[in-house]
Structure 1
Amino acid sequence: PLSRRVPVLENLGFAVIDERSYRVARDEGDMNFALHDMILELAEGEEFDLEEHAARLQEAFLAVWRGEAGDDHYNRLVLHAGLDWREVAALRAYGSYLRQIRAPFGQAYLSDTLKRHTGVTARLMELYRLRFDPDSGKSMEQIRRRQKKIVGEIEEALEQVPSLDEDRIIRHFLNLILTTLRTNFYQRTKEGAPPPTIAFKLDSARVEGSPSPRPFAEIFVFSPRVEGIHLRGGRIARGGLRWSDRAQDFRTEVLGLLKAQQVKNVVIVPTGAKGGFVPKWLPHGGSREEIMAEGVAAYKLFVSSLLDITDNLAGSKVVPPERVVRHDDDDPYLVVAADKGTATFSDYANEISLDHRFWLGDAFASGGSAGYDHKKMGITARGAWEAVKRHFREMDWDIQKQPFRAIGVGDMSGDVFGNGMLLSKQTRLVAAFDHRDIFIDPDPDPASSWKERKRMFGLERSSWQDYDRKLISKGGGVFSRSLKSIELSPQIQELLDLSAKTVTPNELIRAILRCKADLLWFGGIGTYVAAEHETPEQIGDRANDAVRISASELRVSVIGEGANLGITQLGRIAFARAGGRINTDAIDNSAGVNSSDLEVNIKIALGAARAAGKLTLEERNALLASMTEEVAERCLRNNYLQTLAISLGQKHGVADLG
């Protein structure tokens, strides 16, 4: 249709003056064709040599039409800077990365700046080719000498750029090219086509304007179908990959999780890692199955791109990836795991690892069918529960035998929330919420409510809407967060200390977080509590700005952080100084990470026996399964000792400092 064709041409820099369409019928056969004759001129009105640019323009148009390239103002660089569509896509990828590190420039301004200074843009791409084209035939010394000359010429040209912002933008692109360590840009598929993504590995410490803390290295993956990031705290690092819904700032989300991961891994492996991806082609209004299918496809594309530029091992020999020029040292360690939205995806990752003949095989992604299932083991929640039990034990309260009132974030289908709310039959869960619903049970019976939560946990999929209303105490209920307003019963008003008879869902959630209770159990995604003076920009969770409360408003005795980032670090300090009992997410939920590390290390250790033919895959899998409880016991022992060490340190205070 015309409405689809014209924007593509306009983004290539043309204005459509006239258009005529013709139907072409064949004498034989039943195939007819449509011929669209369009008269174009450059949007600025200047003349250009069509023959010189025709091939690149045609390739760019077809790439956009097939969904292989983005459709935006960056495409004007095909005509004005003499770039091909893939080179434009590389600059677009860098522009997208700048958005993720919070550069204060929109994509339109970035592309307009590159178009306004096409001479400099062409030199930037010349530098990119010099550094990464494996067919250049140049030695690293020759590349360094030529690079120094091109960078000098670019910096000299920048002296003539009158706008400070445009100078900064071009320097951002220059810096990203210089800090890129390797890319899959020049790789080819088995069919000889370019890869469907552009992935580049960055030396994070040298990326100008990047927020702290800066990882050891990161890989950014970009395509029309998926975007993603993988951050590593060191050479030997492991962590989960999550399905993010934060398209504009998923790196901020992942960086926050990496901070917790790095702390958790201090007692497990040297450093932490974290990754996230955003599917961009999710079907609008699609079924759960259709959305899941596209999410899996995006995940596979993301994971495959990570491995495309990662070194391999053949015995003890490092094997670099094909057609990748490396500006860093050997780096063959890449291990991932499941996270939010990817709990069942580890087998996909391991299939990709085996397809790449990656040295880790199915140890690449922990938690697959031949690994330790966190939800079945309940290991993350059980580890965090060790911390919760200690908090109450130090208050002379045995929560396994004495009833206690709890509020929570999450639902029974979730690993951490679901398992956690089944770990004591004395739990009186009075209120909880997730991204869909709000659950309130003002006066629950511990026994019957535990059985109902157990039933829901066993369902293949569940939400709070599945809770049997007959088992909810008087005045309680389940309320959708999509409602405009919620009418409150006297029992809910009393529970939450509310005088209003109707409230919005967000107001009800804030009231739940302020509810007087013994335990607040974090088992869902989001940051819901912060220090009073922290701003939304500092917190970095826009989705929950409307429901977040300050730590001074909490009226619980204990917080259990089964999930990451439920409360900010400054919020923890404020809560603890007010007498609340809390550790950190890194301490409370470290058992999941611990079990994954043990799984990976056991598989690596048994790899030699498998390679020597002394152990079959089936025998190894049986051995892993037989060790499940022993692995769990080791993880839980670590959680017990970690929390004990904190309590002893708190008791001894400054005396421990000498």
Structure 2
Amino acid sequence: MRSQMDDAKQELLSEAAQLRTSPGGVTAVDPDLTTHLLHVYYRHVPAEDMLERSVSDVYGAAMSHYLLAARRAQGTAGIRVFTPSVENDEWSADGHTVIEIVTDDMPFLVDSVTMALTSSNRAIHVVIHPQLLVRRDVTGQLLEVCEGESHGKDSSELVRESWMHIEVDRETDQGELEAITAHLTQILRDVREVVEDWEKMNEQALAVVADLETSPPPLPQSEIEQGTAFLSWLADDHFTFLGYREYRLESIDGVDVLRAIPGSGLGVLRSDQDMSPSFGKLPPAARAKAREKQLMIITKANSRATVHRPAYLDYVGVKSFDEAGDVVGERRFLGLFSSSAYTESLNHIPMLRDKARALIDLAGYTTQSHSGKALMDILETYPRDELFQTPVDELLPVAESVLHLRERRQLRFFSRRDVYARYLSCLVFLPRDRYTTQVRERLQHILKQALGAETIDYTARVSESVLARLHFVVRAKQGDTLLDFDEADLEQRLADATRSWGDDFVGVIVDEFGEEAGGRLGKRYVDAFPEAYKEDFSASVAAADVRRLEDVEPDKIGLSLYAPVDASPGVARFKVFRTERPLSLSQVLPLLSAMGVEVVDERPYELQRPNGRAWIYDFGLRRDADMPDGARELFQDAFRASWSGAAESDGFTALVLDGGIPWRKVTILRAYARYFRQGAIPFSQGYVEASLRANVPIAQLLIDLFEARFDPAGGDVGDGTSRERRVTSIEKKIREALDGVASLDQDRILRGYLSAMQATLRTNFYQSGPDGAPKTYISLKLEPKLLPDLPEPRPQFEVFVYSPRFEGVHLRFGAVARGGLRWSDRREDFRTEILGLVKAQMVKNAVIVPVGAKGGFYCKQLPDPSVDREAWLDEGVACYKTFICGLLDITDNLVAGGGVPPASVVRHDGEDSYLVVAADKGTATFSDIANAISADYGFWLGDAFASGGSSGYDHKRMAI
């Protein structure tokens, strides 16, 4: 019965099929083929996965795969690895890299390919694996994708193919993409060779059995019977044969060599490469084993399987003997024991059955006794690989120790070295309730350090027993040997590692960051937190804090505003994260106070990390009202801006929480307030701040008005409302709201804001800097005649530039006017100073220039010149540069004689491209700086922008 999701999937596929005639379709194929291909391609993909994709992505993935499959020679595989994008391919895979494979349908394909990707640390997100019946011509050209078993065609014409679409983490490096292609090509070759030779390898195992039976070597009959029974058991679907090859044992210059017999290889050993005598030389341990008069060798190979599953290959060797009973060669099978080999009872497995009986007899029990049955139970659950490889005399002491341990709550450690000295097999038994992933990882870490290991593989068994069992296989780096160790001492270290708060923390950190990064961070932080922190916060909170600490850049801070579970309205907590250097409360508390919150408590925590100290400060906050929607991001962004100096910290900042206004929009209100102060408004900044906080809805409407007037994206909107109509509507709302303001002073302040915004002609607020971020300063071009509270005389145009670092003003009494820019030292009334200068200029230069202009700026963060005069001058120059930029940002340009407005500026006045400046007090040597900025802006005056420069015009001489 089809569900609604299934119906939705079919509708999605139907829409995708229509894209073939849509503009921008990926390709154009027969419409019936498109519909059919989409149906069979996505037949087994769950509907819920399909519905997360767009129509174009569904169509693009299938068609792209179809194009890869268009031609494929018999016995080969087609592979394509790329990262599709809408721009280049007209479809995408959610930003992932896509692997497309077309090959003959064979066993092990998906397992082997995904195994290869996982072993390369490439996370797999999606696997789509349609198995399609296709018809091709002799050249490999795809003729038809068939339906069902034969589509009415001669089955000899049809080929069953596997098409694999796999999405992995995004990879953009071309070399990595080529490496993936090469790796998977080799994997698919291995799979093909294994599948093609599997029957031959199985027959070869049975041929060895027949040879042992008809021409037995001079060995005990029981050993031969055991060997033949075991090989027959392997061939009976208990072993996945992956490779076979025959070897001759020779002595060259006194050194034993296993020389591969050419042409004897099958499966992954089919190739005759690397068959020189030097390649076959045996290390001492292997040399001794090679000459032993023992029929069978069962061990692990040095390499992992590339086919089926990523385990180390099982190695089953059958030695060949001459008539004198000497070893002359070996018939080697490589593969993997099947799952049934690990679950089948020992009583049904030749060799292990005999080994179990011998062990019970050697222990002095009968198979029917209580202890005999208990030992048998231990052997049934013992790591099966260990049973195959461990002699009875080595197995017995371990089995007896486990027998006596079974009901004891203690940790025991047992180890066995591989006969070829390549690895150490370690068994750890511990109380079941103490076993966790975190405990296992700690034990692995201890073993790796104690033994000097490079890799450790493990299996875990947790059953109804009071004990859990871990089996570790510890390997040294190739060419090295594992370190010697004291078994009792190592056992004690492992026992000490099976408990703590850190256990939970490591587990959470691995879940949060993934096994690789989480393991690394777990080691870095598991012992870093102080006890006070552990008492106050859970491991999951610690993991979240670690993420923030890891994101903190040098000299920066991390932030987290959060509400405790039982917090009252208006109550929150705020964490500040810091590395390298601690914070001072005197740095933080004023910023929090300015944001309108009360700090009720503070808890500092110092972390001792291997890579340096870190600090977490946890502040308790309280405010009279509830936190607004989106308070977390608003608060954190505003605090970070104040901390970094991107915004000033004052009473305006409280509007972020009072009105839910982002900090940068609050800066608009702050900039106008600073302009009012220069315009000799009779109210202090503190009172202006209080007036806005007392009338938050009006403050929000003022921001809305500014946006409606100047946001370049705020032209005609979807409902057809024009900018002018929206401005008029907001102005009306403000006036209606002002009628409800009781205080006359507050009414005057708020109406002053309204008048100033109405008098504003341009702003650079919506411009971005070279880095794409909003500019760090605000320029406002005003028409002062609309502001009756300004002192006389009022210029025709005025530009006010606000920045946390400086403030500046440029007064222009006509469309064509020039004048110098002064570096003022009068913080509170530099506009009054500039206004006086321009009045004097107009009298002095009346003959040269009918109207004058003058500008000036005040630096608010100057270093002490008596301490560092160079830093003082550098700050002044930096402020001057920004002031010049602020003027040019909103000035029209002339290009080819025509006016060009500045980018992202809405103009409420006519064309205004004349801007000429000159030097004045404090800026006598700055003209070249101004001209360089003019050149960077491409301003039409070029180096004539600022007079007095080394290559500029003399404006007085030219009567400009």
Pick the TM interval, shorter chain: 0.5 to 0.7
Give the counterpart letter for 1:2 in structure 2: L
For the pair 1:333 / 2:692, whether they are aligned, the reply is: no
List structure 1 runs of 4+ shifted beyond 4 angstroms. Answer: none
Distance, in Å, in 1 between the alignment partners of 2:752 and 2:867 is 39
Give the counterpart letter for 2:673 in structure 1: G
Give the counterpart letter for 1:218 in structure 2: E
For the pair 1:59 / 2:637, whether they are aligned, the reply is: yes
Query: Where in structure 2 are the equivalents of 1:602-613 lying within 5 Å?
Result: none
Distance, in Å, in 2 between the alignment partners of 1:231 and 1:160 is 36
For the pair 1:362 / 2:943, whether they are aligned, the reply is: yes
1:160 to partner: Cα distance: 1.1
SS of corresponding position for 1:70: coil
Aligned equivalent of 2:832: 252
**Deviations, residues 144-202 of structure 1 (Å, cap 9, x unaligned):** 22212211111111111111001000000111111110001010012111111111000
For the pair 1:47 / 2:630, whether they are aligned, the reply is: no
Of 583, 587, 592 in structure 2, the residue corresponding to residue 9 of structure 1 is 592
Of 732, 745, 761 in structure 2, the residue corresponding to residue 165 of structure 1 is 745
Does structure 1 conserve the Cα–Cα contact (< 8 Å) formed by 2:715 and 2:722?
A: no
Of 692, 707, 720 in structure 2, the residue corresponding to residue 129 of structure 1 is 707
1:371 to partner: Cα distance: 4.1
1:596 to partner: Cα distance: 3.1
Q: Which has the higher strand share?
A: 2
Aligned equivalent of 1:214: 794
Does structure 1 conserve the Cα–Cα contact (< 8 Å) formed by 2:808 and 2:858?
A: yes
| TM-score, normalised via structure 2 length | 0.38
Distance, in Å, in 2 between the alignment partners of 1:263 and 1:194 is 41
Of 793, 798, 821 in structure 2, the residue corresponding to residue 241 of structure 1 is 821
For the pair 1:303 / 2:884, whether they are aligned, the reply is: yes
SS of corresponding position for 1:62: helix
SS of corresponding position for 1:598: coil
1:599 to partner: Cα distance: 5.2
Does structure 2 conserve the Cα–Cα contact (< 8 Å) formed by 1:183 and 1:199?
A: yes
1:600 to partner: Cα distance: 8.1
Does structure 1 conserve the Cα–Cα contact (< 8 Å) formed by 2:848 and 2:959?
A: no
Distance, in Å, in 1 between the alignment partners of 2:788 and 2:635 is 33
Distance, in Å, in 1 between the alignment partners of 2:759 and 2:650 is 26
Give the counterpart letter for 2:664 in structure 1: R
SS of corresponding position for 2:602: strand
Distance, in Å, in 2 between the alignment partners of 1:286 and 1:91 is 35
Distance, in Å, in 1 between the alignment partners of 2:902 and 2:726 is 24
Does structure 2 conserve the Cα–Cα contact (< 8 Å) formed by 1:172 and 1:208?
A: no
SS of corresponding position for 1:16: strand
Distance, in Å, in 2 between the alignment partners of 1:266 and 1:158 is 44
Aligned equivalent of 2:929: 348
Distance, in Å, in 2 between the alignment partners of 1:265 and 1:360 is 22
Indicate how the Cα distance of structure 1 residues 176 and 78 shifts in structure 2: closer, same or farther if over 3 A, else same. same
SS of corresponding position for 1:213: coil
Of 596, 601, 607 in structure 2, the residue corresponding to residue 18 of structure 1 is 601
Does structure 1 conserve the Cα–Cα contact (< 8 Å) formed by 2:849 and 2:959?
A: no
SS of corresponding position for 2:834: helix
Indicate how the Cα distance of structure 1 residues 112 and 333 shifts in structure 2: closer, same or farther if over 3 A, else same. same
Distance, in Å, in 2 between the alignment partners of 1:125 and 1:271 is 35
SS of corresponding position for 1:270: coil
Give the counterpart letter for 1:183 in structure 2: T
For the pair 1:78 / 2:656, whether they are aligned, the reply is: yes
Distance, in Å, in 2 between the alignment partners of 1:180 and 1:198 is 12
Does structure 2 conserve the Cα–Cα contact (< 8 Å) formed by 1:101 and 1:211?
A: yes
1:53 to partner: Cα distance: 1.4
1:31 to partner: Cα distance: 2.6
SS of corresponding position for 2:899: strand
Distance, in Å, in 2 between the alignment partners of 1:96 and 1:323 is 24
1:138 to partner: Cα distance: 2.5
**Deviations, residues 523-572 of structure 1 (Å, cap 9, x unaligned):** xxxxxxxxxxxxxxxxxxxxxxxxxxxxxxxxxxxxxxxxxxxxxxxxxx
For the pair 1:223 / 2:806, whether they are aligned, the reply is: no
Give the counterpart letter for 1:48 in structure 2: M
1:47 to partner: Cα distance: 2.6
Does structure 1 conserve the Cα–Cα contact (< 8 Å) formed by 2:812 and 2:853?
A: yes
1:303 to partner: Cα distance: 0.8
Distance, in Å, in 2 between the alignment partners of 1:214 and 1:46 is 43
**Deviations, residues 17-76 of structure 1 (Å, cap 9, x unaligned):** 1111111233x4x2321101111011xx33324x62111111110111111101000001
Does structure 2 conserve the Cα–Cα contact (< 8 Å) formed by 1:238 and 1:337?
A: yes
Moved more, 216-225 or 283-292: 283-292
Distance, in Å, in 1 between the alignment partners of 2:709 and 2:625 is 34
Of 114, 134, 159 in structure 1, the residue corresponding to residue 692 of structure 2 is 114
Give the counterpart letter for 1:317 in structure 2: G
Distance, in Å, in 2 between the alignment partners of 1:129 and 1:278 is 28
Distance, in Å, in 2 between the alignment partners of 1:195 and 1:25 is 39
SS of corresponding position for 2:852: strand
Does structure 2 conserve the Cα–Cα contact (< 8 Å) formed by 1:255 and 1:274?
A: yes
SS of corresponding position for 2:723: helix
SS of corresponding position for 1:355: helix
For the pair 1:138 / 2:721, whether they are aligned, the reply is: no
Of 827, 842, 849 in structure 2, the residue corresponding to residue 262 of structure 1 is 842
SS of corresponding position for 2:842: helix
**Deviations, residues 100-125 of structure 1 (Å, cap 9, x unaligned):** 11100000000100000001111111
Give the counterpart letter for 2:598 in structure 1: A
Does structure 2 conserve the Cα–Cα contact (< 8 Å) formed by 1:78 and 1:84?
A: yes
The two structures, once aligned, show a CA RMSD in angstroms of 1.6
**Deviations, residues 316-335 of structure 1 (Å, cap 9, x unaligned):** 11110100111110000000
Does structure 1 conserve the Cα–Cα contact (< 8 Å) formed by 2:807 and 2:857?
A: yes
SS of corresponding position for 1:40: strand
Query: Where in structure 2 are the equivalents of 1:214-613 lying within 5 Å?
Result: 214-284=794-864, 285-371=866-952, 596-598=955-957
Give the counterpart letter for 1:232 in structure 2: R
1:254 to partner: Cα distance: 0.4
1:347 to partner: Cα distance: 0.4
Structure 2: stretches of 5+ with no match in the other structure? 1-583
SS of corresponding position for 1:201: strand
Larger radius of gyration: 2
1:141 to partner: Cα distance: 8.4
Distance, in Å, in 2 between the alignment partners of 1:7 and 1:91 is 20
Does structure 1 conserve the Cα–Cα contact (< 8 Å) formed by 2:714 and 2:723?
A: no
Distance, in Å, in 1 between the alignment partners of 2:902 and 2:891 is 6
Does structure 2 conserve the Cα–Cα contact (< 8 Å) formed by 1:283 and 1:290?
A: yes
Aligned equivalent of 2:437: none
**Aligned length, in residue pairs:** 374
Distance, in Å, in 1 between the alignment partners of 2:673 and 2:804 is 14
Indicate how the Cα distance of structure 1 residues 307 and 286 shifts in structure 2: closer, same or farther if over 3 A, else same. farther
Aligned equivalent of 1:204: 784
Distance, in Å, in 1 between the alignment partners of 2:942 and 2:959 is 10
**Deviations, residues 627-656 of structure 1 (Å, cap 9, x unaligned):** xxxxxxxxxxxxxxxxxxxxxxxxxxxxxx
Give the counterpart letter for 1:22 in structure 2: Y
SS of corresponding position for 1:267: coil
Distance, in Å, in 2 between the alignment partners of 1:246 and 1:331 is 30
Indicate how the Cα distance of structure 1 residues 310 and 141 shifts in structure 2: closer, same or farther if over 3 A, else same. farther
SS of corresponding position for 2:647: coil
